Structure 1
Amino acid sequence: MSSDRVHPMPPPPPGHPADHHHADASTTTTETTPLQQPHPSFAARPLSPPPGTYIVQVPKDQVLRVPPPDRARRYKQLSSRPARRRMLRRACCCACAALLLVLLLAAAFAGAVYLAYRPRAPTFFVAALSIHGLLLANTTTTTTSPLSPALDAAVRADNGRNRKVGIDYRGGGEVAVSYSGVRLAAGPWPAFRQPPRNVTVLAVAMRGQGVRLTDGQARQLAAERDAGDVPLAVEARVPVRLRFGAVLRTWTVDVKASCDVAVNRLDGDAVAVNRGCRVKVRPLWWWW
């Protein structure tokens, strides 16, 4: 089987009739009518991209990892804010947790002390009352002249309900006697230490000066004196401390006692009839 080899033909020399024929053909093609242009409305309308999600990838060497110099300070301020906020939030949380822990420990300690000692409020009782300077001759002259009553009371402080708790009555307390809202006399409460399961009777001297009663109060006092039943109010405010054992003591709190007493006379030693005493110690809630 034989194969024929095809050799390229050399270009015709200038002036050859084939060269003129090629030139005429190119001229004829150039002079043809151009293709019709599309309608202007279609040419001006941009082609909309097909719907979908596009991901633009930026080379790593073109990503700015360091802010420009003019924005470096602002970038530093903004970047340091979250760290400071986290530190402040963490400090607040730690402080709240520590405070809560202290409160829980204090509550647990107070509960343990209460269960171990069972503290109770003391009771008071007016055992005797001596009255001078309150005797009324008649209601006409009494309303114009001031009174200077002097009252000596024997007060019984009972701490028998406390088996393990002692009471320190501190100085600065006061005892006062009033009638129908008018203060007659007042005196200091003596300071002393009362052990557990103890009953102490103490003498309290009360003095008044320049006491004036209205006409209605003077007539009412004279009528109750004649009936042998004069109501008086004895009020005491005493600062105390509780002693739990030999070492543990509480802070100083005010004990307020109010007793209603009726006496049969207004001169000399009177028979005091107690009609009830109320004791209030608000900071120590377990005393109620």
Structure 2
Amino acid sequence: MADHQRIHPMVDTEAPPPASPPPTAPLVPPGSSTSEKGGPVMVQHPPPPLQHTMPVITSTNSKRGCFCKCICWTLSILILLLIILGATVGILYLVFKPKIPNYSINSLRISDLRLNFDLTLSAKFDVKVTAYNPNKKIGIYYEKGGRLSVWYTNTQLCDGSLPEFYQGHRNRTVFNVSLSGQVQSGSTLMAALQQQQQTGQVPLELKVHAPVAIKLGRLKLKKVRILGECMLTVDSLSANNLISIKASNCKFRLKL
């Protein structure tokens, strides 16, 4: 059979082209490289740095700072108050010009000075005192509790109460004070007094303790104390006789 019949497949031109196979995923992951032999080489990236959280430590510096600020503020306020107080006192001093009152002993009379059977010494004195207020704008209230006492060689012979009264501006007031007392070991003291009396100069000391209140205009301030000492020299200690005061030296001071 020389001539064979050949059968050729017919191509359908209208048929759609065959679908291409789906792409295969690469065996080498992204970021990796291949070796010279073609095998994949895995590239190891360094691990991310660890973030260490620092522990919160409360510092004492802030507390010390607050404490120092409080101390500074307190000291500043105290200094300011002292400055205001000092300025107020200075202004009052310049306006009122305060002066301490003057006192003098006018007379001294001994109504009783004797040695008792129990060897105690009884003494009764009558003292006339003049108080002068030299201030132009300051009044003085003599409060309750004022005392006047007579001493001989550090031994108190007698004492008495000062009167309560108000003394105005530039006022002069005369008042009497009755003193009485009793001293133990009177025989020794009486002998010393009699021996001193023979010289015609008997040293006595009068002590004043007067609580007073100062009046500035219409304002009455708190109580202060007037303390005074008068060194007297008398000629005798005869009872029921007016004693002659030969010398007198008085000193007074104000105590808050």
Name the TM-score, length of structure 1 as normaliser: 0.64
Distance 1:62 1:193, change over 3 A: farther
Q: Tell me the SS of whatever aligns to 2:228.
A: strand
Q: How many residues align?
A: 207
Deviations 1:164-199 (A, max 9, x none): 111121111211111222211111122221111011
Query: C-alpha distance in 2, partners of 1:102/1:63?
Result: 60
- Listed as ranges, the gaps of 5+ residues in structure 1 are 1-60, 137-141, 284-288
> Does 2:126 align with 1:152?
yes
Query: C-alpha distance in 2, partners of 1:82/1:91?
Result: 14
User: 1:212 is matched by which residue type in structure 2?
Assistant: S
**Where do 1:96-245 residues align within 5 Å?**
96-134=75-113, 145-159=119-133, 161-213=134-186, 215=188, 217-245=189-217
Query: C-alpha distance in 2, partners of 1:275/1:120?
Result: 21
- Listed as ranges, the gaps of 5+ residues in structure 2 are 1-47
What is the aligned-residue identity percentage?
26
Task: Assess if the C-alpha contact under 8 Å between 1:133 and 1:147 holds in 2.
Answer: no
Q: Tell me the SS of whatever aligns to 2:190.
A: helix
Name whichever structure is richer in strand by fraction: 2
Task: Assess if the C-alpha contact under 8 Å between 1:176 and 1:236 holds in 2.
Answer: yes
Shift of 1:259: 0.6
Hey, which bits of structure 1, 4+ residues long, moved more than 3 A? Answer: 61-66, 210-215, 217-220, 223-229
Find the counterpart in structure 2 of residue 281 from structure 1.
254
Query: C-alpha distance in 2, partners of 1:198/1:190?
Result: 16
Shift of 1:269: 3.9
Deviations 1:94-148 (A, max 9, x none): 1111111000000000011111111111111111222122157xxxxx8972221
Task: Assess if the C-alpha contact under 8 Å between 1:125 and 1:156 holds in 2.
Answer: yes
Find the counterpart in structure 1 of residue 224 from structure 2.
253
Task: Assess if the C-alpha contact under 8 Å between 1:130 and 1:267 holds in 2.
Answer: yes
Query: C-alpha distance in 1, partners of 2:125/2:50?
Result: 98
User: 2:190 is matched by which residue type in structure 1?
Assistant: A
Name the TM-score, length of structure 2 as normaliser: 0.71
Tell me how large the CA RMSD over aligned residues is.
2.5
Shift of 1:228: 4.2
Task: Assess if the C-alpha contact under 8 Å between 2:114 and 2:122 holds in 1.
Answer: no
Q: Tell me the SS of whatever aligns to 2:182.
A: coil
1:264 alignment partner, one of 235, 238, 249: 235
Task: Assess if the C-alpha contact under 8 Å between 2:145 and 2:162 holds in 1.
Answer: yes
